[in-house]
Amino acid sequence: MLETPPGADDNNAAPTKPHQGEGDSNLSPNRKSWEARRGGDNAGGALLDRDAQYFLHQSLSTPCLAAVKKVEGIWIEDIAGNRFMDFHGNNVHHIGYAHPRLIDAIKRQLDDLPFAPRRFTNAPAVDLAEKLASLAPGNLNKVLYATGGSDAVDMALKLARNYTGRHKTISFWGAFHGAGFGGLSVGGESLFRNEIGPLLAGAEHVAPFACYRCAYGHDAPDGIPDLDACKMACAGMLRYVLDKEKDVAAVIAEPVRSVPYIPPPGFWQAVREACDEYGALLIFDEIPSGLGKTGKMFVSEHFGVEPDITVLGKALGGGVLPIAAMIANEKLDNMGDLALGHYTHEKNPVTARAALTTLQIIEDENLVENAAKVGAQALSRMHDMKDRHPLIGHVTGLGLLLGIELVLDRADKTPALDAADRIMYRCLDQGLSFKTTMGNVLTLTPPLTLSIEELDRGLDIIEDAITAEEN
């Protein structure tokens, strides 16, 4: 155990236990061992040192793990030539890194039209809006772009406030919706919210669905809910708060939580009905999970529920350029006398070209179908692994958003925090990169291009690391 308590004067103080949230921390003892094992030069020493010198330190990034030299397909290569299959990729690498068709399209767009100042539209921006409207479910036909997901979330919140004339929101504890004040306010993780003063007023939270670890006291041993017993208390609580407040502008949530946790059957229908009854909008944040990751182009398609607004980001730029989008029901197009998405790169032709080409690649290479197929195979193999390994308490997933939850004891479900952190570094040693979520969930989000062979290779590495931990 480390001696410096968290929150002590030293800004870089190591916490006494692994962080339980969005991602793994760079302050854990296992991280120190990994650094010692690899040796400075092997990991890209001098560059890492300069990185740590000049960037503000943050527990989920700087100081960094290694210095990257090349990304291609599913692979990351560090400057010492070590290669890692990337089962994380910040959820940007749906089409694989550095897809040649995308790189070529971006280069040509740079030669053709590199920028369009506000008040001038351009063909790639309009083509992309048209494409997004044609792909998105139902009446989601009106689009605005931003450079990042956090800004797209902000736009969605502003639009919902303006349309309803209300300002309150309901969202989930444990969620991440971005690093700006809007996203942080509706997000529910202390790592991002604490020690920065007041956030947006009216941002209310409820405990999210999590059938394996139900905050409403209805833990399902295998994560399969007994709806007769629990009466879907999680959806009930959302309705309860909507009813108590009566003036909520919007419910905002990830339709499938990035942990990942999948909602109980009927959850979103129940929430949609409650939103309609109380005049609140429903905003789906599909920033990490949209565009095919879950085996459907939009996550909402799994649940037969149409939100009023969907936000996309991350993979929309093909893992090369930053672009996010808000797609809204056309009935919300009521702010023509105000400015909602007044961003410098509001209609950037190069980022729009990247997004348009990415969508074309996803379609032409049948990547959504591949994610569904390979994801189903992954889940089946993960269930087999669970039968063999007591350390695995729960496996879950939808498409290629997959999670293996580690516990010290299946009965009491104590999170195996240290084991998960150690396993993650063991896998890195063997050339596989992924992140942990909540401290004990091995969260796997490989690209949509994943082949069965790559899947097997990745899961072999994970299973070996789990076996080593159990022995």
Ligand X SMILES: Cc1ncc(COP(=O)(O)O)c(C=O)c1O
Question: Closest distance between ligand X and the C-beta of residue 434, in Å?
Answer: 15
Nearer to ligand X, 150 or 357 (CB): 150
Question: Closest distance between ligand X and the C-beta of residue 71, in Å?
Answer: 18
Nearer to ligand X, 254 or 405 (CB): 254
> Bridge partners of 39?
none
The upper half-sphere exposure of residue 251, i.e. CA atoms within 13 Å in the direction of its Cβ, equals 31
Nearer to ligand X, 271 or 324 (CB): 324
Residue closest to ligand X when measured from CB atoms: 149
Residues that bind ligand X (CB under 6 A): 148-150, 153, 176-179, 183, 254, 258, 285, 287-288, 313, 324
Buried/exposed code over 244-276 (b: 16+ C-beta within 10 A; e: otherwise): eeeebbbbbbbbbbbbbbbbbeebbebbbebbe
Question: Closest distance between ligand X and the C-beta of residue 37, in Å?
Answer: 29
> Bridge partners of 435?
443
Which residues, 6 or more positions from 353, have their beta carbon under 8 angstroms from its beta carbon?
105, 106, 109, 124
Nearer to ligand X, 2 or 60 (CB): 60
CA distance 396 to 277: 32
Which has the closest alpha carbon to 155: 182, 119, 173? 182
Nearer to ligand X, 44 or 319 (CB): 319
CA distance 443 to 403: 5
Question: Closest distance between ligand X and the C-beta of residue 285, in Å?
Answer: 5
Nearer to ligand X, 155 or 275 (CB): 155
Residue 327 corresponds to which amino acid? Answer: I
What is the signed CA dihedral for 83, 431, 292, 318, rounded to 10 degrees?
-20
Nearer to ligand X, 64 or 123 (CB): 64
Question: Closest distance between ligand X and the C-beta of residue 146, in Å?
Answer: 8
Question: Closest distance between ligand X and the C-beta of residue 254, in Å?
Answer: 5
For helices 452-470 and 417-429, angle between their N-to-C axes, nearest 10 degrees? 130
First to last CA, the chain: 22
Other beta carbons within 10 angstroms of residue 470's beta carbon come to 12
Distances in whole angstroms, Cα of residue 213 to Cα of each of 230, 411, 415, 466: 13, 12, 11, 22
CA-based Rg of the chain, rounded to a whole angstrom? Answer: 22
Nearer to ligand X, 150 or 358 (CB): 150
Nearer to ligand X, 38 or 158 (CB): 158
Nearer to ligand X, 60 or 64 (CB): 60
Contact in structure between 116 and 305 (CB atoms under 8 Å) = no
Question: Closest distance between ligand X and the C-beta of residue 188, in Å?
Answer: 11
Long-range CB contacts for residues 104-111, cutoff 8 Å, separation at least 24: 105/353, 105/354, 105/357, 106/320, 106/321, 106/350, 106/353, 106/354, 106/357, 109/349, 109/350, 109/353, 109/354, 110/350
**Would you call 436 helix, strand, or coil by DSSP?**
strand
Question: Closest distance between ligand X and the C-beta of residue 179, in Å?
Answer: 6
Question: Closest distance between ligand X and the C-beta of residue 19, in Å?
Answer: 16
CA distance 359 to 105: 12
Question: Closest distance between ligand X and the C-beta of residue 147, in Å?
Answer: 8
CA distance 388 to 52: 41
**Would you call 253 helix, strand, or coil by DSSP?**
strand
Question: Closest distance between ligand X and the C-beta of residue 250, in Å?
Answer: 15
Residue 51 corresponds to which amino acid? Answer: D
Nearer to ligand X, 150 or 348 (CB): 150
Question: Closest distance between ligand X and the C-beta of residue 180, in Å?
Answer: 7
Nearer to ligand X, 302 or 413 (CB): 302
Other beta carbons within 10 angstroms of residue 13's beta carbon come to 15
